[in-house]
Amino acid sequence: MSGSVEHQLPPHLLPDREIHVVISILSGHKKAQEYYDDTLKPLLDSHNVQHSTHTTSSTQSIINLTRSLFVVNATQGVKQTIILLSGDGGIIDIVNTMTTVLNRRNDDTRPPSIFIKPVVVLIPMGTANALAWSCKVAQDPIGSMMKGMPRSLPTFQAQFSPGAKLVVNEGRDRETLTESDDEEGIMYGAVVFSWGLHASLVAMSDTAEYRKHGLERFKMAAGQLLSEGHKYRGKVKWRKAGGDWGELPGSEHSYVLATMVSNLEEHFQISPATKPVDGTLRLVSIGPEPADEIMRLLGLAYQSGKHVTDPKVTYEDIKSLRIEFDEDDERWRMVCVDGKIVAIAKGGWVEATKIPATGMDARRVIEVVC
């Protein structure tokens, strides 16, 4: 019997791997535990898939688990599959932590260890689930787990001028990104990097009060921000694969975003040209338009990404994006890296760069089942 059961299993669920289920109990509508109990566990048990479960207890849980278990396994040649019941934040914690830990070991003189990328199965439990919708797994996560193929997940690096701080605890607290204030900070992402309206509304809506409204929270925050009509001041430059820098016109902007995915929500198609895990980084930006015009343009993104054909929207395939800030108030110097908010020091800058798939600087640390 077991032979026939195994025959139905994809390679990433076979007994030669360690299988870990991570249950992010606070994601989205807090349904992860229920989904595991009612749907996932019975399925895994019916196929005799041995697995260990890890339940989150704080925002640090997945980061700590990645450091203590997933990185250790990967660098010791252990094959592992992580079934992740969370929102985009969970996968980002794994990507950012693994890349940071591995890059820190670059000055290690010992011969490189074996590295086996963990395979991550996404079971979307967050509010927006950008990566899961963009990888086409959100409609049928179980079907994707059973029939999908692991593919290398492309990432980008965000580098910050010294003094940048991570905004935590619903905006009340700040955490340092580096050991000393005169060092440049670095984070890694796989979904989106933004400044302007998108970053502000993510920052503003990341509270328990807003979160209980689900996806509506983004629209509520956007309405409030647009009523203020702030124009974001700074210099925005971008570089194409060939190497030359271009610059967005003027010193005022409304919406500046670079993304590696097609969809930020199920129906919000921010980059229609992006295919699942194709490794492109695309810039989407809107200049200093009035509120109703910004709403019109962003509304077009809900119509299969029609906004990118409007002359008021810049849409480019880029290698990197650099922002030099000209804002006094910290509130307008906040950027979003895959849902995490970073406050940039006054007079500072940030640069987001696509990490190449091959060559010396390449580093793809996980595979995601698509």
The confidence score (pLDDT) of residue 6 equals 52
Query: Tens of pLDDT along 100-118?
Result: 988 765 555 555 567 899 9
Minimum mean pLDDT among 15-24, 102-111, 160-169, 183-192: which range?
102-111
Q: Please answer whether residues 15 and 58 qualify as being in contact, where contact means their C-beta atoms are separated by less than 8 angstroms.
A: no
Q: Give percent of the chain with pLDDT exceeding 70.
A: 94
Minimum mean pLDDT among 5-19, 96-110, 137-151: which range?
96-110
- Whether the pLDDT of residue 3 is over 50: the answer is no
Query: Tens of pLDDT along 235-262?
Result: 999 999 778 899 999 999 999 999 999 9
- Whether the pLDDT of residue 224 is over 90: the answer is no
The confidence score (pLDDT) of residue 4 equals 47
Rounded Cα–Cα distance for residues 180 and 216 (Å): 39
Q: Please answer whether residues 239 and 320 qualify as being in contact, where contact means their C-beta atoms are separated by less than 8 angstroms.
A: yes
Strand partners, 185: 160
Which residues belong to CATH 3.40.50.10330 in the chain?
A: 2-154+362-369
CATH architecture of 2-154+362-369: 3-Layer(aba) Sandwich (3.40)
Secondary structure (3-state) at 199: helix
Rounded Cα–Cα distance for residues 272 and 306 (Å): 8
Which residues belong to CATH 2.60.200.40 in the chain?
A: 156-354
Query: Tens of pLDDT along 289-333?
Result: 999 999 999 999 999 999 999 999 999 999 999 999 999 999 999
CATH code of 156-354, in short, is 2.60.200.40
Phi/psi zone of residue 137: left (φ > 0), alpha (ψ -120 to 50 degrees), beta? alpha
**Residue 37 to residues 44, 57, 89, 91, Cα–Cα distance (Å):** 11, 18, 22, 21
Which whole number is the average pLDDT over 225-231? 88
| Per-residue pLDDT band at 2 (split at 50, 70, 90) | very low
The better pLDDT of the pair 352, 126 is held by 352
